[in-house]
Amino acid sequence: MARRVVLLGATGSVGTSALKAIEAGDFRLVGVAAGRDVNALAQVAAVHRPEMTVVADPERAADLSAALVPLGLACDAGPSAMEALAAMEADRVIVAIPGFAALRPTLAALDAGRVVCLANKECLVAAGDVVMPRAAKAGATLLPVDSEHNAIFQVFERGALGAVRRIVLTASGGPFRTSSREAMAAALPRDALRHPNWSMGAKITIDSATMMNKGLEVIEAHHLFPVGPSRIDVVVHPQSVVHGLVEYADGSCLAHLSNPSMVVPIAHCLNWPERAPAPVSPLDLVAASPLTFEAPDEVRFPALRLAREALAAGGSTTNVMNAANEVAVAAFLAGRIGFLHIAEVVERALEAMAGSSTAARTVGDVEATDREARRVAERFTIECGVA
């Protein structure tokens, strides 16, 4: 029988790859949601005829009804409809919503005990201390879609946890891998949005350019793989063919390689624990070579250092960092601050909110910290402002 799949975030880059994987395999899209792009969402619904279609933005409710009711398709709108959709009866729930907004729907799916294919990293960075215990309590399964974490998941021998020496996340280095700080200071959004290997949404592409993406991924890995922060390393690998590896005490390193396509980790999560054909071109090692590796430069890319420091500080510090980063990236994309100001805003917000860290948090605490950090970071974007 076809696996029932719910897809949250169907109109973005990961959502589009997920639809490819769903269409190519033995899957049925039973629930679908998007943030606000009603036209694209209605097109997906018309093709797949899901049991429920939801738009997160309640102001788009009427537009969605106008498109779907004549087709005899059920639809709804708003945050509580998103959470109900996330918890509906399904074999897989794919969370491809960008940013902190994914937190509540992810928790709803986990609380319902679903197998959650998580493409979003911000909710683990902001609230891994809340999300992971909730998943365990409900007996839910969390499968990482983020390519590096999916790679590590595939080669991580849970039974040999004591023999894991370290895990390594690879980073492409982004469009400014070889740029000077001076060049980065002058970079415009269109320069930063030009990623060499991956075609992704704007937020993650800017995160790749600052390397905050890899900082977020170190924190994400910390929540997914119980090895401790000192055993999570980053290496720059410009070709994005090796996505992650695990080094064991016997000197063996198990790596995962594939073409840089999000269809690979999505298809893996949809079919897990089985494997099935996916619409991906085979990896041509000769054409992909040479594969090269470099140490990351935390002086030119301070976001990586900030993320490590935030993880070490614990409590709500990564919650603050995530919110400040979302605010700073949006300000950069809007042309309100310069590229180097992104890490500066994050660092100043972390300093301003240092010591407010708490343990044993609730979702309400997480959301309160997020709001306060956004307010603080917004103030620093105005101080940095170039407009």
CA 43, CA 262: separation in Å to the nearest integer? 21
Closest CA to 219 of 140, 296, 295, 303: 303
Q: Is the dihedral angle over the CA atoms 113, 118, 120, 122 positive or is it negative?
A: positive
φ, ψ at 263 (rounded to 5°): -60, -30
Closest to Mg ion by CB, 150 or 381: 150
To Mg ion, the closest distance from the beta carbon of 222 in angstroms equals 14
Q: Which is nearer to Mg ion, 14 or 184 (CB)?
A: 14
Residue with Cβ nearer Mg ion (52 or 218) = 218
- Secondary structure of 211-251 in the HEC alphabet? CHHHHHHHHHHHHHCCCCHHHEEEEECCCCCEEEEEEECCC
Alpha-carbon gap, residue 202 to 194, rounded angstroms: 10
* CA-based nearest residue to 153, from 246, 240, 263: 246
Tell the smallest beta-carbon distance from residue 351 to Mg ion (Å).
27
Tell me the closest approach of the beta carbon of residue 214 to Mg ion, in angstroms: 8
Place of tokens 């709804």: 76
Residue appearing with tokens 């910290």: 369
By beta-carbon proximity to Mg ion, the closer residue of 150 and 369 is: 150
Contact present, 115 and 140 (Cβ < 8 Å): yes
Q: How far is the CB of 148 from Mg ion (least distance, A)?
A: 5
The nearer residue to Mg ion, 53 or 147, going by C-beta atoms, is 147
Nearer to Mg ion, 147 or 258 (CB): 147
| d(C-alpha 316, C-alpha 373), whole Å | 10
* Maximum C-alpha span of the chain: 63
CB nearer to Mg ion: pick between 147 and 369: 147
Cβ 123 to Mg ion shortest distance, Å: 15
For residue 104, give the amino acid letter. R
Alpha helices, DSSP H, located in the chain: 13-24, 38-48, 61-68, 79-86, 103-111, 122-138, 147-155, 181-185, 189-192, 202-210, 212-224, 263-271, 285-288, 302-313, 317-333, 341-352, 363-384
* Minimum CB distance to Mg ion, residue 249 (Å): 26
Minimum CB separation of residue 216 from Mg ion in Å reads 9
Residue closest to Mg ion, measured at CB: 146
Residues within the interface to Mg ion (CB under 5 A):
146-148
In this complex, which beta carbon is closest to Mg ion, that of residue 133 or of residue 229? 229
Between helix 363-384 and helix 103-111 the angle, nearest 10°, is: 160
Q: Shortest Cβ distance from residue 194 to Mg ion (Å)?
A: 18
Cβ 248 to Mg ion shortest distance, Å: 23
Closer by beta carbon to Mg ion, 54 or else 169: 169
